Every structure is written in structure tokens, then in C-alpha cells.
Amino acid sequence: MHDSTPVDANESATDRRTFLGRAAALSLVIPGIAATACSNSEQPPRAGATTNVRPTHNSDSRLDSTLLKGQRHGGTSATGTATQGAQSVAYHRWDPTLPPPSASGHVQLHWHAHEAPVRLSADTVVAGWTFEGDIPGPLVHCRVGDTVEFTLTNDADIPHSIDFHAAQLDPKQAFKSVPKGQSVTCTFKPKYAGAFMYHCGTSPVLMHIGSGMFGALIVSPREPLPAAKDFVLIQNEFYLAEAAGVPAAVRASDYQKMLNMIPDLVCFNGRPNQYLDAPIHVKLGDRVRFWVVSAGPSHPCHFHVVGEQFDKIYLGTPPANAITGVQTFSVAPGGGSIFELVCDVAGEFPFVNHGFGHGQKGAMGLLVVDA
């Protein structure tokens, strides 16, 4: 499902040196402390790597804000390998189908953080910061109480990290940033069912989510929910610079635009209007369940299905806290909600962000109910 297009290892030049200079200002070092739930692989520093460093932190912590106050960081995602080979990157539809949960109850994941160009449409490729080479990152499905054992290895020149909203862990350990070539591992058992975001938590977190480092971990309850066609929709915004300064047709993510919060594109599953172009099909009589995550980085998703009403929305962990007969419901950035509808009418039903300034920028799709 997730293309991982090879990228050219040759890195160019001035941009990279400039960026590395900035990255050095943010350089992080991992203390030799192993937490019970999380550890960091210790490796010798690379030649030229700084060792006179400040403590590990992540941007969700007060410590992080303090440490980074007034420091510079790169304002563009066009770093390292993010633009290399962009012209040949293929488009693929991001499959919204929820895969079955792990049968073993043990989910073992080892992902890589790396920079890679990602094609959003026929004419737009972004310089992405990614988990596993795609935006969003891999879709994960488990059940409450399963064991999730996760390792992130950072292949990029700047530090990255993971922050699982489905977990309850000490963020200073489990979600800490790791420099290039190092890994961080954490293990947890999701306590609640729901549609949970994960993202890179490295400062500035706005830049890392805004450049593509986010995804969804879906946690089903132990007792299965009513049979349904299950789909995952992760809404995010892209804030894109003009193509100048990077290879033609590659758009870098622009930090200043992220701060201004006026996106160029708002997408379900990383591509504008992809489910208008290739709709989601179900059959008359089906129950449809949308697991909707708002990855942001800054805007909510006001989720609505034109011509339908939601039979249920779970306000908390399902199956508890369901409300019924709902027309539109907002999912906060960093949040997730579960929407169910019963397809008792055949036809084509647009699903939209009913905040139409954002719907119009790509957060629309089509649910086709075939008779």
C-alpha cells in the first residue's frame, strides 16, 4: 500500500550544508539512560557530530520550549534527500481500507524516518519528511490490550521521534528525538479503543507534522463492533512554498506558512480529492464506519456526509458514549472520532470537511453506495 520509492543518495550541496548548520544548532544527544518501556541504541557519534550537547527533549515538553527559545531552525522541508528523484516518483491512491487487527495480539514495528519526495497529484510532488517514505505513514490496526513493540530508526540528517497518542508513556523517554543513525524503542498496550494519531514530536513539531510525519493507529475494542465496512480518513494540511530553489515541480513545506495557518491543500490521506477521482464503493445496506483522524497540524475536520446522517458517533472509546442522528461533527487537530452510517439509500454521497474553505482545498471524497 505504501510506495517507498528509492531516492538518490547524492545530496546536493549548498542547501544541505546550510541546513546541516541549522540542524547542528538543534542537535540532540541521548543520555545513557534506559527506561523500562523505552530505550535508545547507543552508537558512537559520527565524524563531525557534536558531542557537547543539551539533554534529550521533545517539543511537547516545557523543557523543550525553554531550550529552543530563540534558536533557529530550517524553514523548509527541502532538505537532504527530500527532493532527490522527485520527477520519477509515482502517484498512488492511498488505500483507506482498514486492515484486520493483528491476530497474534503482538504488533512489532520497525520504521525508518527519512526524507523523500511524495507525489500528491499529477502536478504536485512535495519534499516530504516521512515515516517509511509515504505521507501519511503506515496504517496500524490492533486491539485494546495488544502489545505494540515499536522501533524508529532515523535515517535523516535532522533529529526525529515518534509520539503515539494511543500510548501512555513517559514522553521524555519514549518520544525522545534521535539523531541520524540511532533508534528509539518503546512498548505499550493501548488502554482505550479509538482512532489515534501518531506523529513526530521533534521541535518544532509544527514543522515535522506539517512536512508529513504523521499517521494513524486504530485501536479496536476487545469485543468487536457491529460488522461494517471500515475506512480510515486522516485529514492534514500542506503549506507549500513555490518551486524556486528546489528541483522544478517539487514543493517544499514552508514553516512560515504553517505559522500563518492558511494551507494550500487540505487532504484526506495525503492527496487532495483522491476519493473524488477514485471513490470508495460500498453496497446498499452496508454499515460504513469512518475512523477519522485530524492530523492537522493546525486545523480540525468538520466531518459531514452529504445526503446522509450519522447513525452513531462515538465521543469516547467505543462502544461507549455513542450519540445518534448527527449531521456534522468536528474532530480536533490531534484527535480522532468514529463515524457510522447505514447505507440504506443508493447513490453517490460526498464526504467533506464542511468547513468549506478547507473542503475546497481537497478535503472531499465520494462514497458510492451501489444498489
State the alpha helices, DSSP H only, in the chain. 13-25, 62-68, 171-174, 205-210, 255-260, 274-277, 356-359
d(CA 245, CA 158): 20
- Shortest Cβ contact with Cu ion: which residue? 200
Q: Which residue has the cell 493546525?
A: 298
Q: Which stretch, 212-220, 227-235, 245-253, 293-301, contacts Cu ion (CB under 5 A)?
A: 212-220
Q: Is 302 in the site for Cu ion (CB under 5 A)?
A: no
**Could you say which of 59, 185, 202, 353 contacts Cu ion (CB under 5 A)?**
202
Shortest distance (Å) from residue 79 CB to Cu ion: 11
Q: Which stretch, 23-31, 187-195, 204-212, 258-266, contacts Cu ion (CB under 5 A)?
A: 204-212
Shortest distance (Å) from residue 180 CB to Cu ion: 12
Q: Is 312 in the site for Cu ion (CB under 5 A)?
A: no
Q: Is 213 in the site for Cu ion (CB under 5 A)?
A: yes
Shortest distance (Å) from residue 216 CB to Cu ion: 17
Q: Which stretch, 12-20, 88-96, 213-221, 224-232, contacts Cu ion (CB under 5 A)?
A: 213-221
d(CA 94, CA 134): 9
d(CA 327, CA 305): 8
Measured at the CA of 200, the angle between CA 262 and CA 219, to 5 degrees, comes to: 100
Shortest distance (Å) from residue 200 CB to Cu ion: 3
Q: Which stretch, 75-83, 196-204, 299-307, 337-345, contacts Cu ion (CB under 5 A)?
A: 196-204
Q: Is 208 in the site for Cu ion (CB under 5 A)?
A: yes
d(CA 355, CA 330): 10
Residue (84 or 211) nearer to Cu ion, CB: 211
d(CA 161, CA 141): 20
**Could you say which of 30, 89, 116, 200 contacts Cu ion (CB under 5 A)?**
200
Measured at the CA of 244, the angle between CA 77 and CA 356, to 5 degrees, comes to: 65
Cell numbers standing for residue 85:
528523484
DSSP 242-277: -STTSSTTEEEBBHHHHHHT--SEEEETTBTTHHHH
Using DSSP, state whether 356 is helix, strand or coil.
helix
Residue 76 DSSP one-character state = B
Shortest distance (Å) from residue 159 CB to Cu ion: 7
Q: Which stretch, 38-46, 58-66, 194-202, 242-250, contacts Cu ion (CB under 5 A)?
A: 194-202
Q: How many residues bind Cu ion (CB under 5 A)?
A: 5
Q: Which stretch, 25-33, 138-146, 200-208, 319-327, contacts Cu ion (CB under 5 A)?
A: 200-208
Q: Is 57 in the site for Cu ion (CB under 5 A)?
A: no
d(CA 329, CA 211): 26
Judge whether 140 and 217 are in contact, CB under 8 Å.
Answer: yes
Encoded one letter per residue, x for contact with Cu ion by CB under 5 A and - for no contact, window 59-98 reads ----------------------------------------
Shortest distance (Å) from residue 160 CB to Cu ion: 4
Q: Which residue has the cell 514543493?
A: 251
**Could you say which of 114, 119, 141, 160 contacts Cu ion (CB under 5 A)?**
160
d(CA 218, CA 293): 10
Shortest distance (Å) from residue 55 CB to Cu ion: 18
Task: State the residues that interact with Cu ion by CB under 5 A.
Answer: 160, 200, 202, 208, 213
